[in-house]
Amino acid sequence: MSKRRIFPLAVALLSFLYAAVLLAGFVAPYDPAEQDREYPFAPPTHLHFIDAQGTLHAWPFTYALTSSPDNFAQYQEDRGRVFPLRFFVVGENYSLLGFVACHRHLYGVDEPGRLFLLGTDGYGRDQFSRLLWGGRISLLAGLIAATLSLSMGMLVGAASGYFGGFVDDVLMWLVELFLAVPWLYLLFAVRAFLPLHIGPTVAFLLVVAVIGMVGWARPARLIRGVVLSARERKYVLAARGFGASHFYLLRRHVLPQTMGVFLTQAALLVPQYILAEVTLSFLGLGVGEPVPSWGNMLGSLQQYHILASYWWMLVPGLVLVPVFWAYHVLADFLHERVEFGH
């Protein structure tokens, strides 16, 4: 597949994912915190077209699940009653995008049927709904942290490259120190020195801040390089000859040159930071219960019996693959187009 066709595909995929995650309340059939103690570790619900009598339905449907009292998490389909798939159903209240109160959901089935597209966890919570709500945390954490890192990196790199001298020496030494520690160790160390037991919202902000703070060094160095060479250009000298201030030179001639590096680094850092949040939450150092994040959803897999028996619990990890792929395609594209020519 040619590069030119893959790029729009990647953009489409990411837009779709981010949209779905932002509209989590609508797309998800159930509330992420809603526990259904009767259905712990239920496998993904099957959608059927042909019922027990052999009739073909025009519309997919599900069966209710019954559990055998002796076997934990072993379920049987009750073929007695059919629950057709419905769209735009009325369900739990939620606030769309944080401020519009709604109660319509994209899809669902009538009570007492259940449609667990990706199964449930130990508390009977719908994994698909949690995936969407958790995606908000993980995907947005990556984005915000990347913005933080890049802004800091831009500031440091521009100051260092443009003004040179003592400022440059000091800042580059700092960069060297930050890059001397393997980045996950650095992340953990910074996290270590901050309070452990904190509420989910504080945890989210903390995680974003920590990840953002740890990763400024490499972008700073790259941007410094660009600024150094841009600063030496003759047209910058010419503008100085007209009486341009430092601010003007930076704004008009120097910083626009950094856009290429900036964007490419963004495409590389966001997936890395998403993974950082997932890792921290997985180990209990990030966003915790009851707020779902892809990381803490994977956390239960640290118990081997869960890892072995319930494959759908791996989905929050599996969904990272297309996300990473899309960002890598983006990074490649930007690297070729924007960094090396205009």
**Which residues form the interface with another protein (CB under 8 A)?**
173, 176-177, 179-186, 188-196, 233-235, 237-244, 248, 253, 256, 275, 278-279, 282-285, 298, 301-302, 304, 307-308, 311, 314, 317-318, 320-322, 324-325, 328, 342
Per-residue burial over 227-258, b if 16 or more Cβ lie within 10 Å, else e, is bbebbeeeebeebeeeebeeeebbeebbbebb
CB closer to another protein, 116 vs 178: 178
CB closer to another protein, 49 vs 235: 235
Residue 105 and residue 328: Cα distance in Å, rounded? 33
Smallest distance, Å, CB 194 to another protein?
6
Smallest distance, Å, CB 308 to another protein?
4
Smallest distance, Å, CB 285 to another protein?
7
CB closer to another protein, 96 vs 301: 301
Structure tokens at 208: 């974003």
Residue 314 and residue 128: Cα distance in Å, rounded? 12
CB closer to another protein, 35 vs 279: 279
Q: DSSP assignment, residue 125?
A: -
- Contact, 156 vs 148, CB < 8 A? no
- Contact, 162 vs 231, CB < 8 A? yes
Cis peptide bond upstream of 32, omega within 30 = no
CB closer to another protein, 87 vs 193: 193
Taking alpha carbons only, the member of 86, 123, 80, 125 closest to residue 105 is 86
